Amino acid sequence: MTRYLNTTDPDYDDQRLGYNLAVEHKPEIIVPAEHAAHVVDAVRHATDRGLGVAVLATGHGPSRPADGQLLINTSRMDGITIDPVGRWARVEAGVRGGALTQAAAVHGLAPLAGSSPEVGVVSFHLGGGLGVLGRSLGWAVDHVRAIEVVTADGVLRRSTATSEPDLFWALRGGGRGTLGVVVAIEIDLHPITRLYGGGMHFPADLADRVLSTWAEWTATVPEEMASSVLLIRMPDLPALPEELRGRYVAHLRFAFTGSVADGQRLVAPFRALGPITDTVTEMPYPQLGTIHAEPTAPVAFHARNRVLHTFDVAAARALLQHAGPAAEAPYLVELRHTGGALGRAGAVPSALGRRDGEFVLYAGGAASTSEAPRLRAAYKRLFEEMAPWGTGGVCVNFLSGPDVSAAELASGYRPEDVLRLEAIKRAVDPDNVFRTHHGLA
Ligand SMILES: Cc1cc2nc3c(=O)[nH]c(=O)nc-3n(C[C@H](O)[C@H](O)[C@H](O)COP(=O)(O)OP(=O)(O)OC[C@H]3O[C@@H](n4cnc5c(N)ncnc54)[C@H](O)[C@@H]3O)c2cc1C
């Protein structure tokens, strides 16, 4: 039976909060869905009462608060079915990346996964899905075979390249929260079992050398080599090794699917610089999440990003002026090397048509609501400085928090795709039932 929690229900608070506490939903009703029929009931219940419908899976990418609306919490929809022969998986709406990676590994297979095993598989795909191995495998959205979705009319539909093709096109890249509630997706799995990967921390006085070396090195590496750099002042926590506690560091991360010998040769220039820590080694694919080692404790954070066409030595210097050891930036900065297969069109076209760019520059910081404007102003200065290297685009999946503008979101797409997305939205959700997530208009 479908459960409808109101504000006085003892489970209400537990069901409305996710990882990013910058958005604290205060919905009128929460439905803790366990399967598709609960989602159908919830959407009909909301539309009968004129309420909007919002979705919460893990809370890693919230947009606006779902205050006064009906919030469907999908975290209990945790079913995973794997076809090892056909090399695909059916994944329900509440499954996290780590659970899927573990389940697929039993069959010697791997999904295209992002950097954090805590992120929800479905929404990661709906926003494009920048996988750690994206440079060799492309966007995760290109590996979606089918999407089961409950639309605003309360109907459960199965959309594929041939059935409901417009919806299938739009959901893949433009489907986070705006077109319906996805109850499950079917995705490709890949015969990958191991990686040569890990991270190296470098001290503040090497940040300039590391970033300049990385800028030149990324122009030379094969698509099988993925890497990123994090510039961060580490928290002063007793759980951290003494050499990292409270220190500014550059954290360089690698994930390579070629041989160990080739991997060692490729990362040698960085080992020669003398990292403080070095965890780069051969590892099973399910340990992918240890490479970025992202925090898991809920926090109120705000994130922005820009796609860059180039990251050269001049860009490295400009970045360090804002986010280097002397800058005392109120945010961390991460650069991901993209390009490769991420720049090529998928076999089946999707809303994620904009694929130019060779790097994603991400900035994120923890801030209370009152501190958020200061953080936003700092991001503005950073991105203005980096504009000469920018494509003018953003990575859609990395936009979160209540203050993302329609124009900023639209810059993640080609103009013709924005128009088509808007037309499909009007056709499938004419009353804007799914109004909480950032829209394009
Ligand atoms: C630590 C961290 C690491 C990340 N790493 C990567 C990465 O490597 N690559 C990458 O591409 N992205 C990455 N992201 C971004 C992440 O993929 C997106 O924010 C994604 O939308 C989060 O999905 P979620 O279900 O975990 O979060 P939620 O906040 O629960 O959902 C995000 C939004 O998606 C919508 N949504 C959720 N479930 C459904 C559904 N079933 N149907 C329809 N809409 C739904 C909702 O509108 C919701 O607002 C990362 C984010 C964080 C915080």
Distance, C-alpha 49 to centroid of its chain: 33
The full set of domains in the chain, from first to last, is 12-73 (3.30.43.10), 80-191+414-428 (3.30.465.10), 194-403 (3.40.462.20)
Going by alpha carbons, the residue nearest to atom 47 of ligand 1 is: 177
The pLDDT of residue 441 is 62
The pLDDT of residue 438 is 76
Ligand 1 atom, smallest distance to 96 CA: 26
Centre of ligand 1 to C-alpha 43, Å, is: 21
The Cα–Cα gap between 436 and 434 comes to 6
- The amino acid occupying position 394 is V
Q: Which residues of the chain have pLDDT under 50?
A: none
HSE, side-chain direction, 13 A CA sphere, residue 176: 30
> How big is the chain, counted in residues?
441
Give burial (CB, 10 Å; 0-12/13-18/19+) of 159: buried
Centre of ligand 1 to C-alpha 333, Å, is: 19
The pLDDT of residue 369 is 87
254 φ, ψ to 5°? -130, 150
The pLDDT of residue 122 is 98
CA-CA distances (angstroms) from residue 239 to 109, 236, 268, 278, 306? 34, 9, 29, 18, 32
The pLDDT of residue 140 is 98
Which residue of 38, 40, 55 sits with most ligand 1 atoms within 8 Å of its CB, as the best mutation to test the pocket? 55
Do the beta carbons of residue 182 and residue 91 sit within 8 Å?
no
Which residue of 60, 70, 95, 336 sits with most ligand 1 atoms within 8 Å of its CB, as the best mutation to test the pocket? 60
DSSP summary character for residue 132: T
DSSP summary character for residue 58: S
Which residue of 176, 338, 438 sits with most ligand 1 atoms within 8 Å of its CB, as the best mutation to test the pocket? 176
The Cα–Cα gap between 309 and 327 comes to 24
Closest CA to 64 of 406, 421, 429, 427: 406
Collapsing DSSP states into helix, strand and coil, what is residue 245?
A: coil
Centre of ligand 1 to C-alpha 113, Å, is: 12
What residues line ligand 1, using a CB cutoff of 6 Å? Answer: 18, 55-63, 74, 93, 114-116, 119-120, 122-124, 126-130, 176-177, 181-182, 294, 397-398, 400, 437
Going by alpha carbons, the residue nearest to atom 29 of ligand 1 is: 59
Ligand 1 atom, smallest distance to 61 CA: 19
For residue 373 the two structure tokens come to 């404007």
Centre of ligand 1 to C-alpha 212, Å, is: 32
Closest CA to 289 of 425, 118, 436: 118
Q: The pTM is what? A: 0.97
